[in-house]
């Protein structure tokens, strides 16, 4: 067996090997990656992928950390509201998986769902055949099947994992993944892992029903009419059409935000959760007065940008998407879907609201940071820090020891983000990604191992798009016409309406890698493309 260590029964693979006659043509598991990707490209199971992984193993810690996950239908208590949903090991979020940088991580996944699934390890530079994208990097894990994911965890930081099949992530299948840095001094006393989410499953609709409604014209008709009539000249005018009138003003006590930030999502969710809890029964994060807390923030939401603040405190940002930055202190920050930030804060004496406002909506998630006795902050808490200094992407400076080389790119690709609001069709370069046959209908972006790659991302829509690259981290080089001197390293970045970003990365992880909008509904509608490694670097 190859060192990708796949452990599963042979039922589905046997059917595929027999020509797939027993499989539904549109099924998630209908094709092996080798069939879908085709010849002439670096396959997920190739020698190149194994070679790079063997180097990681030689440079690793020599330790193996093992874990297990069961994906299954469950009943979950959100804090007084019982819902039927899907989850890992019976809880939302799933339990934390933790290891150290350089460890070999082995996770056995059992699928007890009524449909196939996978696990994508969000943000990791892992081997391609462990990336969890059905039909591109692996066959899906069928009902009643299991699979062992086995890979070296190369980079420390705050990560997470979730399926990459349909809208399963929206049903509660997500968990934190923390990769500790043995070199870190650990200059904090207590750690809080905070997972934010928007919730609709078993609360009036399923995520799939929401997508069907959006595709049938569920967007605000006034907004679509205004776009077609040319009445929206720039991003500052669009919000009044997109946001329902009842949500046009922020909650009392919260300062108005930019009009662009109100384009953060197309779904009004009934609930917004912090660590799986409703604001009416918030999670309590306990510490002692004067302690220094490290807060690991993860936005696992399907379609919501959150603006986060801790009442009575300023926040020092130390990491984004796992990688360190030069510390910067702010009052509040925004997270798009899939983004992570690490914060340091010295805690005062009392009970303080940790608020995550859902941008563009009169709602929020809430937790309580408690260091002493005192009343629980009300569910409508709106700390004044929300109106204070907001972190901007251009404010961030990558820490010197993780900066990528800033050199002339060997190859450049442009990604034009487009969409049709009336039919809810979202595209990259006017192409729609086919989840069943990934290379049907798109033009993959070719690259060769060792190249320095530049991506130009141009958002031609009136909505935010959190763009996520699998298997690599990139350096932010330019935001519109503003250079970012130190190239902040990220794997997920919010691209504002009308905005143009230039990002660079080194092609050091062979395989077939997805780049897509991390809004779950945009991704399900086909807003994705593939960065495709070719077998050998050109000469000359």
Asked if 466 contacts 492 with a C-beta cutoff of 8 angstroms, the reply is yes
Beta-carbon count within 10 A of 173 CB: 26
Lowest mean pLDDT among 9-13, 80-84, 529-533: 9-13
pLDDT-derived band at 21, boundaries 50, 70, 90: very low
- Looking at residue 462, its pLDDT comes to 85
Work out the average pLDDT over 288-303. 98
- Looking at residue 252, its pLDDT comes to 39
Task: Tell which wins on pLDDT, 87 or 2.
Answer: 87
How far is residue 280's CA from residue 301's CA, in Å, rounded to a whole number? 19
512-517 and 482-483 beta bridge pairing: unpaired
- Looking at residue 324, its pLDDT comes to 97
In this model, does residue 493 exceed pLDDT 70? Answer: yes
pLDDT-derived band at 379, boundaries 50, 70, 90: confident
Work out the average pLDDT over 392-419. 95
Give helix then strand counts, H and E, for the chain: 7, 31
In this model, does residue 293 exceed pLDDT 90? Answer: yes
How far is residue 513's CA from residue 434's CA, in Å, rounded to a whole number? 14
pLDDT-derived band at 537, boundaries 50, 70, 90: low
In this model, does residue 168 exceed pLDDT 70? Answer: yes
- Please spell the DSSP secondary structure of 91-125, one letter per residue: BSSPPPEEEETTPEEEEEEEE-SSS-B--EEET--
- Please spell the DSSP secondary structure of 427-441, one letter per residue: EETTB---SSSTTSS
In this model, does residue 25 exceed pLDDT 50? Answer: no
Task: Tell which wins on pLDDT, 236 or 472.
Answer: 472
pLDDT-derived band at 484, boundaries 50, 70, 90: confident
- Looking at residue 26, its pLDDT comes to 35
How far is residue 307's CA from residue 389's CA, in Å, rounded to a whole number? 12
Work out the average pLDDT over 476-487. 86
What angle do helix axes 235-242 and 221-228 make, rounded to 10 degrees?
Answer: 150
In this model, does residue 486 exceed pLDDT 90? Answer: no
- Looking at residue 374, its pLDDT comes to 80
Work out the average pLDDT over 56-73. 97
Work out the average pLDDT over 56-67. 96
Task: Tell which wins on pLDDT, 247 or 360.
Answer: 360
How far is residue 198's CA from residue 306's CA, in Å, rounded to a whole number? 10
Lowest mean pLDDT among 10-24, 134-148, 429-443: 10-24
End-to-end CA distance of the chain: 38
In this model, does residue 29 exceed pLDDT 60? Answer: no
The percentage of the chain sitting over the pLDDT mark of 90, rounded to a whole number, equals 72
The percentage of the chain sitting over the pLDDT mark of 70, rounded to a whole number, equals 84
- Looking at residue 90, its pLDDT comes to 96
- Looking at residue 417, its pLDDT comes to 98
Of the ranges 208-217, 373-382, 433-442, the best mean pLDDT one:
433-442
pLDDT-derived band at 315, boundaries 50, 70, 90: very high
Work out the average pLDDT over 328-335. 98
For residue 440, cis peptide bond before it (omega within 30 degrees of 0): no
Reported pTM: 0.88
Domains and CATH numbers, the chain: 11-183 (2.60.40.420), 185-391 (2.60.40.420), 400-533 (2.60.40.420)
To which residue do tokens 């309590």 refer?
284
In this model, does residue 451 exceed pLDDT 60? Answer: yes
Asked if 472 contacts 509 with a C-beta cutoff of 8 angstroms, the reply is yes
User: Is the C-alpha dihedral spanning 200, 341, 122, 99 positive or negative?
Assistant: negative
Work out the average pLDDT over 365-369. 97
Q: What share of the chain is helix, strand, coil (3-state, %, to 5)?
A: 15, 35, 50
- Tens-digit pLDDT profile for residues 183-226: 988 889 999 999 999 999 998 889 999 999 888 875 544 344 44
Asked if 89 contacts 97 with a C-beta cutoff of 8 angstroms, the reply is no
pLDDT-derived band at 490, boundaries 50, 70, 90: very high
In this model, does residue 459 exceed pLDDT 90? Answer: yes
């Amino acid at each position: 067996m190859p060192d990708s260590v796949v452990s599963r029964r042979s039922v589905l693979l046997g059917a595929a090997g027999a020509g797939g006659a027993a499989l539904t043509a549109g099924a998630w598991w209908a094709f092996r990656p080798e069939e879908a990707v085709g010849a002439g490209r670096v396959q997920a199971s190739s020698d190149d992928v194994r070679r790079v992984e063997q180097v990681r193993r030689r440079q690793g810690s020599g330790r193996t950390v093992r874990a297990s996950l069961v994906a299954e239908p469950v009943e979950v208590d959100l804090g007084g509201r019982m819902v039927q949903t899907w989850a890992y090991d019976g809880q939302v979020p799933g339990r934390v998986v933790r290891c150290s940088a350089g460890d070999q991580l082995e996770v056995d996944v059992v699928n007890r769902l009524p449909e196939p699934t996978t696990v994508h390890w969000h943000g990791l530079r892992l081997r391609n055949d462990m990336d969890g994208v059905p039909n591109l990097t692996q066959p899906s894990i069928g009902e009643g099947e299991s699979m062992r994911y086995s890979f070296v965890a190369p980079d420390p930081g705050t990560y997470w994992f979730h399926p990459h099949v349909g809208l399963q992530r929206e049903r509660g299948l997500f968990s934190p993944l923390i990769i500790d840095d043995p070199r870190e001094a650990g200059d904090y006393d207590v750690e809080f892992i905070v997972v934010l989410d928007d919730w609709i499953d078993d609360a009036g609709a399923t995520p799939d029903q929401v997508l069907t409604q959006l595709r049938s014209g569920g967007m605000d008709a006034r907004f679509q009419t205004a776009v077609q009539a040319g009445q929206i000249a720039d991003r500052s005018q669009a919000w009044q059409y997109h946001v329902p009138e009842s949500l046009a003003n922020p909650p009392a006590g919260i300062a108005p935000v930019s009009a662009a930030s109100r384009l953060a999502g197309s779904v009004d969710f009934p609930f917004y959760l912090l660590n799986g809890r409703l604001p009416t029964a918030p999670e309590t994060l306990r510490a002692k007065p004067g302690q220094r807390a490290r807060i690991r923030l993860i936005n696992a939401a399907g379609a919501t940008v959150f603006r986060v603040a801790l009442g009575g405190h300023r926040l020092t940002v130390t990491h984004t998407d796992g990688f360190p930055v030069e510390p910067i202190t702010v009052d509040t920050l925004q997270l798009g879907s899939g983004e992570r930030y690490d914060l340091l804060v010295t805690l005062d004496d009392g009970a303080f609201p940790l608020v995550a406002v859902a941008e563009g909506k009169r709602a929020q998630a809430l937790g309580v940071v408690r260091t002493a006795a005192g009343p629980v902050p009300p569910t409508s808490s709106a700390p004044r820090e929300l109106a204070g200094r907001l972190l901007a992407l251009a404010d961030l400076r990558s820490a010197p020891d993780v900066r990528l080389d800033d050199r002339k790119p060997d190859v450049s690709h442009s990604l034009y983000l487009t969409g049709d609001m009336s039919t809810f069709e979202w595209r990259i370069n006017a192409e729609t990604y086919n989840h069943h046959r990934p290379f049907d209908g798109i033009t993959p972006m070719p690259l060769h191992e060792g190249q320095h790659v530049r991506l130009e991302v141009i958002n031609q829509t009136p909505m935010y798009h959190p763009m996520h690259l699998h298997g690599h981290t990139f350096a932010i080089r330019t935001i519109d016409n503003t250079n970012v001197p130190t190239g902040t390293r990220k794997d997920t970045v919010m691209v504002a309406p009308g905005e143009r970003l230039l990002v660079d990365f080194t092609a050091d992880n062979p395989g077939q890698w997805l780049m897509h909008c991390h809004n779950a509904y945009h991704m399900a509608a086909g807003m994705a493309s593939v960065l495709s490694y070719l077998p050998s670097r050109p000469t000359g």
